[in-house]
Amino acid sequence: MGKLDKQYLHQEQIHDIENGGSGSSGESGLLCPGCSMGLQRFANQFTFKCFFVLLLSLSVLLSGIFWVLPRYTIQTRFDAKDEIKLSATVQAYFRLVKPASQLIPYIERLEYDIYSEIGLPNTKVAVLSMHQSGASESEWTDVVFGVLPDPMTVPINPVSLSVLRSSIIELFLQQSNLTLTTSVFGNASSFEILKFHGGITVIPVQSASFWQKHEIMFNFTLNNSVSEMLDNFSAFKDELKYGLNLSSYENVYVQITNIHGSTVDPPVVVQASVVSDEGLLPQRLKQLAQTITGSPAKNLGLNNSVFGKVKGISLSSFLNRTLHATTPSPSPAPSPQTDYTEPPKSPYAHPLPLPPHQPFKSLVLTVKCLHRCLLL
């Protein structure tokens, strides 16, 4: 019997070693068979169907996680639908010193603030895009908004469009401010006009009432934007005065037009007029017309590297007439005066009758008497 016990114990030790057990503890030997049976029972119950359901559940969970996470990254930019962008015939741009992720949840509030500043009846304001400026960690956000008719099937009437144009130009020239909810949006800056149906005309650093009293004398085209012209306006005006050979008492006034209604896209049409404290005589107007028309080679005195080449110089009809007008010849010097002066004869005076001549009357009477005597 002892020999059999030893063989049984030896076989049990070998079995423990093969199954990773130490064989030194009786308790371990009792637990391992139970664990093996539990695993075997789980393996029998875990069919291919369960495995497929588990795999499908994991895939749905992972796809849900990857669908939720990108929503936080997409919120760094916003774009309206294409039909809304196409319907906005008036579009403008400004910048906010806040990350786009903090502003996008308040788009409706931003639209309300903008409408409160420039909105008109039968119009509405829509934010067209909101993009992070530059790098993703930038604190600047570029905002583009549009003014649309409400309802969208009816265009904005001309009167409202004119009022809206004046309001937007004032914002661009910083003659008024775009006031927003400061606690949410901060302050707006870098206001630009991107598109305005019918074009825009900007009068820089001058009184708009000037053009109510004076006419445009000439115009020309430059491949610059309105913003570029304003940035270099002081140099532009000085160079233009030099190119026109203006005197110290003469000045030039200009207004700048972009036919597409943009302050950021070229070209521009510059409309100008010259005024003088002493008035402009016909001879001086003719000199100006000759200087303007003969100036393409001189580029109207403008720096080519800054303003480019002047194109399409055109005179107004008024100034064009002075160019072809003949100069009146000087009147001749008066002849020297004599010692006497003859009073001028009135063109309405009639010649006076001759005074009666007495000798002639006596001769007629004598002839009549002789004739009577002969008849007797």
The Cα 138–Cα 116 span in angstroms is 28
> 17 burial class (0-12, 13-18, 19+ CB within 10 angstroms)?
exposed
Instruction: Take residue 4 and report the two structure tokens written for it.
Output: 């059999």
Look at residue 56 and give its three-state secondary structure: helix
Q: Where are the domains of the chain?
A: 1-39, 77-198, 201-324
Which of the pair, 357 or 230, is modelled with greater confidence?
230
Which of the pair, 130 or 61, is modelled with greater confidence?
130
Q: Which helix (H) or strand (E) holds 162?
A: helix 158-172
Tokens 């004598």 found at: 366
Q: Is pLDDT above 70 for 6?
A: no
Question: Hey, which residues does 189 pair with through a beta bridge?
Answer: 95
What percentage of the chain carries pLDDT values higher than 90?
52
Which of the pair, 135 or 109, is modelled with greater confidence?
109
Which of the pair, 285 or 49, is modelled with greater confidence?
285
Contact 131, 124 (CB under 8 A): no
Task: Please state the pTM of the whole predicted model.
Answer: 0.67
Encode pLDDT of 76-105 as tens digits.
789 999 999 999 999 999 999 999 999 999
Determine if the peptide bond prior to 266 is cis (ω within 30°): no
Q: What is the pLDDT averaged over residues 196-219?
A: 82
Q: Is pLDDT above 70 for 290?
A: yes
Encode pLDDT of 295-316 as tens digits.
667 899 999 999 999 999 999 9
Q: Is pLDDT above 90 for 237?
A: yes
Matching fold, domains 77-198 and 201-324? yes
Q: Which CATH number fits domain 77-198: 3.30.70, 1.10.1790, 3.40.1710, 3.40.50?
A: 3.30.70
Q: Which helix (H) or strand (E) holds 272?
A: strand 268-276
Mention every residue, 6+ apart, whose C-beta is less than 8 A from residue 183: none
pLDDT at position 53, please? 73
Comparing CA positions, the residue from 255, 314, 250 lying closest to residue 284 is 250
Contact 295, 236 (CB under 8 A): no
The Cα 214–Cα 81 span in angstroms is 46
pLDDT at position 223, please? 96
Q: What is the pLDDT averaged over residues 250-267?
A: 95
315 backbone dihedrals φ, ψ, rounded to 5°: -90, 150
Q: What is the DSSP letter of 165?
A: H
Class of domain 201-324: alpha beta
The pLDDT mean for the chain works out to 78
